[in-house]
A and B are shown apart, each in its own frame.
Chain A
Amino acid sequence: MIGRAEVEHIAELARLELGEDEIQALQRDLSRILEYVAQLNELDTSEVPPTSHVTPQGDVLREDVSRPSLPVEEVLANAPRAEEGYFRVQAVLPKGER
């Protein structure tokens, strides 16, 4: 069983604020699903190379030249807060650590 502290740690890594009922449900669901995927351990894969992509193409490169891009106003049109052509965000450090 995945412990409460572990769920809280993963949620912090994933930047997800969870309610009390969500933490409990995730403890149960994660434990059940991790138990299910443990079946892969039945297979000996010590000699098997991993497949991360099925396309036979390798890296695809292009010339490092600038190309037309979206105007700044359009890029910022969906931003909840924008100022002078920039995204405006909250402080990086919480109060007390500044």
Chain B
Amino acid sequence: MTLHRLTVHEASRLLQNGEISSVELTESVLARIDRCDPQVKAYLTPTPDLAISQARRADERRAAGDAGPLTGIPAAVKDNISTEGVRTTCGSRILQSYIPPYSATVFSRLVDAGVVLVGKTNMDEFAMGSSTEYSSFFPTHNPWDLSRVPGGSSGGSAAAVAADAALFALGSDTGGSIRQPASLCGVVGLKPTYGRVSRSGLIAFASSLDQIGPLTKDVTDSALLMNALAFHDPCDSTSASEPAPDYAAGLEEDLSGLVAGVPGEYFGEGLDPGVAKLVREAIERLSQIGVEIREISLPHEQHVVATYFLTSWAEASANLARYDGLKYGLFAPEAESIQEAQSKARGRGFGPEVKRRIMLGTYALSSGYYDAYYLKAQKVRTLIKDDFDRAFAQGVDVVVGPTSPVVAFKIGELVGDPLAMYLADLYTIPANLAGVPCVSIPCGFHEGLPVGLQILGQPYAEATVLRVAYAYEQSTDFHLARPQIPGGGSPDHKKN
């Protein structure tokens, strides 16, 4: 049996029935990493020794009757989520030796639930990018075509799940960083409602937009993970205090009466016709399984990228001020004053994309420009959020469209053209600006590369979003397809 290919819910059942042990499952995933990761490069810091000891502990807990659905499940964690005692670089040279003295609350919860950490995954530096090429260390390769990017910034997490090199992974999403790589790698990626999942211990990029969420092999796993990730955390002042529902319980309920809005603006200029065709077919399928399809308009869609730039970069320039080369991180020993030490450490430690965004953010917040740039963007953010509120008020339950305008691009193709790279996030940004939940699920292949369907819902309506995603998934078999990775052995499932 090829245990690494299992989903979380399949593995959980086998563990529960005593048919497999967590050590066997973990060894299978570690062997898969050994075979595939030299090509895919999803992991920055594999943790095989820790994984085996956690797996042993999980098996002991199970024997003692102290096991839950996630006990003994091997997982990967994006390298901007703090893991006590395990190097956490955020994809940046400035944190290349940083070992957090505490864990993110969500990671502590997963460890308490018995999850096994197999490694920390590669990402664009400080989560700033859409291809994982802006990692300070190396690019990650798309398991479906090693010459292409996995998307980003959670590209390592998405590639690890797509390559069966983890049963699930955690990512973070500020403007699409879970959903876009999920789309490009053919996996399921969920960005929860802002505030639904604690950000405590997530290394901050843009605090009003960042959310942690799961990348999984199917929708059932996404719901199972949300059951573990959604809780109130007093360590995050924006953490939602309302209780979370059982996300897995309602997955099979039928969809009659649900209305899906299709914004005309999501099918405009820049959308690859091959992607558009598959997404149109997916919407047609939703209609066949009982969802009412309604055309809607989001008139401020054309301004989401500019609004996101100004909001996220201003917040990033403030958040990244903490990297001063004095308390932790890269250090400039030869500097003769504090200011020189800071400037040198930051100049050496940050890569070009991070510098570009800090510079823009500092400019937008600097004296005389605040009203024209940052305040203006916050006002337009209100208009963008109002577009969604209006659609919801008119009876729309979910908004559907493409996740990414294009399939995975070639490594190196966009890296010299920042503005073109930013436009990859055109359809994913609105969910962050509006703070609403949004999932990307596989909806077919264009020229052999995965395409994602995006399903966005009302605040805290993750259960509805997942219910629609589940019904669609059950009517297709795209989620069963697996990439053939050179040197990785033959796949069990061929893509159709």
With A11-B359, A40-B303 as given contacts, are A90 and B381 in contact (CB-CB < 8 Å)?
no
B window 181-212: CB within 8 A of A: 194-195, 208
With A80-B331, A94-B337, A94-B339 as given contacts, are A30 and B378 in contact (CB-CB < 8 Å)?
no
Chain A contacts of B240 at CB under 8 A?
55, 57
Query: A54–B385 contact, CB under 8 A?
Result: yes
Q: Mark A59-98, 1 if CB is under 8 A from B, else 0.
A: 1101000000010001101111100000101111111000
With A26-B356, A37-B373, A45-B376 as given contacts, are A92 and B338 in contact (CB-CB < 8 Å)?
yes
Q: For residue B234, which residue of chain A has the nearest CB?
A: A62
A-contacting 9-mer, from B254-262, B280-288, B342-350, B487-495 = B342-350
Query: B379–A55 contact, CB under 8 A?
Result: no
Q: A66 CA to B452 CA in the complex, in Å?
A: 48
Contact partner of A90 among B241, B337, B358, CB < 8 A?
Answer: B337
A5 at the interface (CB under 8 A from B): no
Q: For residue B379, which residue of chain A has the nearest CB?
A: A45
Most B CB contacts (10 A, CB to CB) among A14, A22, A30 go to: A14
Q: Mark B404-419, 1 if CB is under 8 A from A, else 0.
A: 0000000000000011
Query: A50–B326 contact, CB under 8 A?
Result: no
Chain A contacts of B381 at CB under 8 A?
50-51
Q: A50 CA to B377 CA in the complex, in Å?
A: 8
Chain A contacts of B459 at CB under 8 A?
54
Query: A78–B329 contact, CB under 8 A?
Result: yes
A1 at the interface (CB under 8 A from B): no
Chain B interface secondary structure, helix, strand, loop or mixed? helix
B14 at the interface (CB under 8 A from A): no
Query: B340–A14 contact, CB under 8 A?
Result: no
**Nearest Cβ on chain B to A45's Cβ, whole angstroms:** 4
Contact partner of A29 among B237, B310, B347, B418, CB < 8 A?
Answer: B418
**Nearest Cβ on chain B to A52's Cβ, whole angstroms:** 6
Q: A12 CA to B467 CA in the complex, in Å?
A: 51
Chain A contacts of B238 at CB under 8 A?
53, 55, 57, 60
Most B CB contacts (10 A, CB to CB) among A39, A87, A89, A93 go to: A89
Q: A15 CA to B339 CA in the complex, in Å?
A: 7
Chain A contacts of B347 at CB under 8 A?
16-19
Query: B101–A75 contact, CB under 8 A?
Result: yes
Query: A50–B378 contact, CB under 8 A?
Result: yes
B99 at the interface (CB under 8 A from A): yes
B window 228-272: CB within 8 A of A: 234, 237-238, 240-241
**Nearest Cβ on chain B to A35's Cβ, whole angstroms:** 10
Contact partner of B378 among A7, A13, A22, A51, CB < 8 A?
Answer: A51
B476 at the interface (CB under 8 A from A): no
A-contacting 9-mer, from B69-77, B360-368, B395-403 = B360-368
Q: A70 CA to B339 CA in the complex, in Å?
A: 28
With A51-B381, A62-B234 as given contacts, are A14 and B435 in contact (CB-CB < 8 Å)?
no
Contact partner of A45 among B342, B359, B383, B418, CB < 8 A?
Answer: B383
Chain A contacts of B356 at CB under 8 A?
26, 29-30
Query: A37–B382 contact, CB under 8 A?
Result: no
Q: A81 CA to B373 CA in the complex, in Å?
A: 39
A4 at the interface (CB under 8 A from B): no
Query: A78–B327 contact, CB under 8 A?
Result: yes
Q: A95 CA to B317 CA in the complex, in Å?
A: 29
Chain B contacts of A43 at CB under 8 A?
300, 303, 380, 383
B86 at the interface (CB under 8 A from A): no
Query: B342–A15 contact, CB under 8 A?
Result: yes
Chain B contacts of A93 at CB under 8 A?
337
With A45-B383, A51-B381, A55-B238 as given contacts, are A22 and B337 in contact (CB-CB < 8 Å)?
no
Query: A77–B101 contact, CB under 8 A?
Result: yes
Chain B contacts of A94 at CB under 8 A?
336-337, 339-340
B352 at the interface (CB under 8 A from A): yes
Contact partner of B358 among A7, A14, A75, A91, CB < 8 A?
Answer: A14
Query: A89–B341 contact, CB under 8 A?
Result: yes
Contact partner of B359 among A10, A48, A49, A62, CB < 8 A?
Answer: A10
Query: B307–A91 contact, CB under 8 A?
Result: no
Chain A contacts of B306 at CB under 8 A?
36-37, 39-40
B31 at the interface (CB under 8 A from A): no
Q: A25 CA to B106 CA in the complex, in Å?
A: 39
Chain B contacts of A59 at CB under 8 A?
237
Chain A contacts of B139 at CB under 8 A?
none
Query: A52–B208 contact, CB under 8 A?
Result: yes
**Nearest Cβ on chain A to B345's Cβ, whole angstroms:** 9
**Nearest Cβ on chain A to B275's Cβ, whole angstroms:** 23
Chain A contacts of B325 at CB under 8 A?
80
Q: A37 CA to B337 CA in the complex, in Å?
A: 37
Query: B435–A55 contact, CB under 8 A?
Result: yes
Chain A contacts of B383 at CB under 8 A?
43, 45, 48
Contact partner of A57 among B241, B341, B379, B382, CB < 8 A?
Answer: B241
- Extra 13 A-B pairs, beta carbons < 8 Å, given A80-B325, A80-B331, A91-B338: A10-B363, A15-B339, A17-B347, A30-B360, A30-B363, A40-B307, A54-B194, A54-B435, A57-B241, A78-B327, A90-B340, A93-B337, A95-B337
The 5 A-B residue pairs with the shortest CB-CB distance in the complex, in nearest-first order: A54-B435, A17-B347, A50-B378, A80-B331, A78-B328
